[in-house]
Amino acid sequence: MATLSFEYFPPATAEARQNALRTVARLAGHRPDFVSVTYGAGGSDRHRTRQMVFDTVSWHTASRHRCPVMPHLTGIGHTRAEVAALLADYVAVGVSHILVLAGDPRPGEFDVGDGDFRYATDLLSFVREEGDRLGVDFTIAVAAFPEVHPRSSDRATDRRHLAEKLSMSDLGITQFFFDADHHRRMVDELADLGCTTPVFPGVIPVTNPASVARFAAMNGTEVPADLWNRLESVDGAERLRIACDEAASLADELLADGVPGIHLYTLNVPEAAEGVLSRLGPGRFGTTRQST
Ligand code: FAD
């Protein structure tokens, strides 16, 4: 049975923090296998992520549904000492899952090659070393790009690096995409390279087409013009309906293909995640979830 996970982003204001925690509490009712918290959304600093991780851990620890909280962690522009301090803070509150990423340059702040980590694999090796030092066997996830990472010179090289990274990890989570064929092709290419690490597709209900299009452009994700026309011609409940219909239809196709799990990008909008789950119907996700 497939797993279910949710992705949250760290809120920027006190009011947004309350909303984010209400989202976490509400979606916990769907008993995710794990939840993740993005790192430095929109170029913000890591302290917001740390706070959101702490809030989410304490909420899940106190709630009837305990599940791992997986902070995202990026390497570019950061030092080993900074990462070590953050990992120690996470371990102190019981975090044992990390999504390890290279990250992106921040114009005016740092470029690829600045800091102690260039590629996700550099950070991954360091996280494993720190795990040994701290006495934690981290579960490590990494990013996968079905439509090929924009910094890759060509498809074959991208897949070689991805397969190598996955072989050092416990699971992969993909960038969002809108055509299941992108995911199928990537899975086949990885299988040809002997890669057996599970890769969970990331599915996004597009409740905010302008901001999702910006991310898509950064990541080389193909945006279906027809879907965007429909989303942009409406708003409110009608836009939410279309976003949920489309995301549920993609998730349904992927589940029918036998993917190991669905990672839902919630954008901290509980109605969207719930809209997708209600369309998928009961009994679609697995047995590994536990409640306390
Ligand atoms: P890498 O795996 O290092 O790959 C980057 C590029 O380098 C690729 O082209 C790869 O082929 C190439 N490469 C890898 N290894 C080598 C090597 N040894 N030699 C030469 N080339 C190599 N960003 C954030 O800032 N915060 C987040 O919270 C965040 N969350 C994300 C969650 C998911 C699920 C995904 C898919 C992406 C997320 N990102 C996030 C974006 C991510 O940080 C960027 O896309 C970044 O540019 C790539 O990260 P990576 O870990 O895939 O990099």
Give the C-alpha separation, 72 to 248, whole Å.
25
- What value, to the nearest 5°, has the Cα angle with vertex 255 and ends 254 and 260? 100
To test the ligand 1 pocket, which listed residue (56, 101, 116) has its Cβ within 8 A of the most ligand atoms?
101
Cβ neighbours around 35 below 10 Å, total: 26
Can you tell me which residue has the tokens 């942009």?
Answer: 232
Residue 239 forms part of a structural domain:
yes
- Give me Rg for the CA atoms of the chain: 18
Strand partners, 69: 35
Any residues with CB less than 8 A from the CB of 139 and at least 6 apart, and which? 68, 70, 96, 97, 98, 170, 171
Residue 235 forms part of a structural domain:
yes
Q: Whose CA is nearest to atom 26 of ligand 1?
A: 39
Q: Which amino acid appears at position 53 of this protein? A: V
Tell how far the Cα of 273 is from the centroid of ligand 1, in angstroms: 25
Give the C-alpha separation, 95 to 164, whole Å.
25
Can you tell me which residue has the tokens 């106190």?
Answer: 62
Mean pLDDT (10-residue bins), the chain, 292 residues: 96 94 95 95 70 95 91 95 96 98 89 92 98 98 98 98 98 98 98 98 98 96 98 98 98 98 97 98 76 36
Residue 286 forms part of a structural domain:
no
pLDDT of residue 41: 44
- φ/ψ region of 231 (left if φ > 0, alpha if ψ in -120 to 50, else beta) reads alpha
Tell how far the Cα of 1 is from the centroid of ligand 1, in angstroms: 28
Query: 104 CB less than 6 Å from ligand 1?
Result: yes
Residue 163 forms part of a structural domain:
yes
Among 7, 130, 246, 274, which one carries the catalytic annotation?
7
CB 200 within 8 A of CB 262: yes
Query: 165 CB less than 6 Å from ligand 1?
Result: yes
Backbone angles phi, psi at 110, to 5 degrees: -155, 160
Residue 218 forms part of a structural domain:
yes
Residue 202 forms part of a structural domain:
yes
Closest atom of ligand 1 to CA, residue 149: 9
187 is written with which tokens?
């899975």
In the chain, what's the furthest Cα-to-Cα distance? 54
pLDDT of residue 292: 33
pLDDT of residue 290: 43
Tell how far the Cα of 219 is from the centroid of ligand 1, in angstroms: 10
Query: 175 CB less than 6 Å from ligand 1?
Result: yes
For 36, which DSSP code? E
Q: List Cβ<8 Å contacts ≥24 apart for 56-60.
A: 56/8, 56/21, 56/24, 57/93, 57/94, 57/95, 58/93, 59/21, 59/24, 59/25, 59/28, 60/24, 60/28, 60/35
Query: 265 CB less than 6 Å from ligand 1?
Result: no
pLDDT of residue 289: 47
Q: How many helices (H) and strands (E) does the chain have?
A: 10, 8
Backbone angles phi, psi at 97, to 5 degrees: -120, 130
Residue 292 forms part of a structural domain:
no
Tell how far the Cα of 164 is from the centroid of ligand 1, in angstroms: 13
Can you tell me which residue has the tokens 């990890």?
Answer: 169
Closest atom of ligand 1 to CA, residue 142: 51
- Of 4, 67, 9, 3, which is closest to residue 266 (Cα–Cα)? 9
Q: Which amino acid appears at position 169 of this protein? A: S
CB 16 within 8 A of CB 211: no
Query: 221 CB less than 6 Å from ligand 1?
Result: no
Tell how far the Cα of 49 is from the centroid of ligand 1, in angstroms: 18
Give the C-alpha separation, 75 to 6, whole Å.
22
Q: Whose CA is nearest to atom 11 of ligand 1?
A: 158
Full domain range(s) for residue 98: 3-280
Q: Whose CA is nearest to atom 24 of ligand 1?
A: 103
Residue 287 forms part of a structural domain:
no
Q: Active-site residue 7, yes or no? A: yes
Give the C-alpha separation, 283 to 80, whole Å.
43
pLDDT of residue 63: 84
Query: 5 CB less than 6 Å from ligand 1?
Result: no
Backbone angles phi, psi at 73, to 5 degrees: -140, 125
CATH number for 276: 3.20.20.220
Number of domains observed in the structure of the chain: 1
Strand partners, 34: 5
pLDDT of residue 59: 92
To test the ligand 1 pocket, which listed residue (149, 197, 215, 263) has its Cβ within 8 A of the most ligand atoms?
149
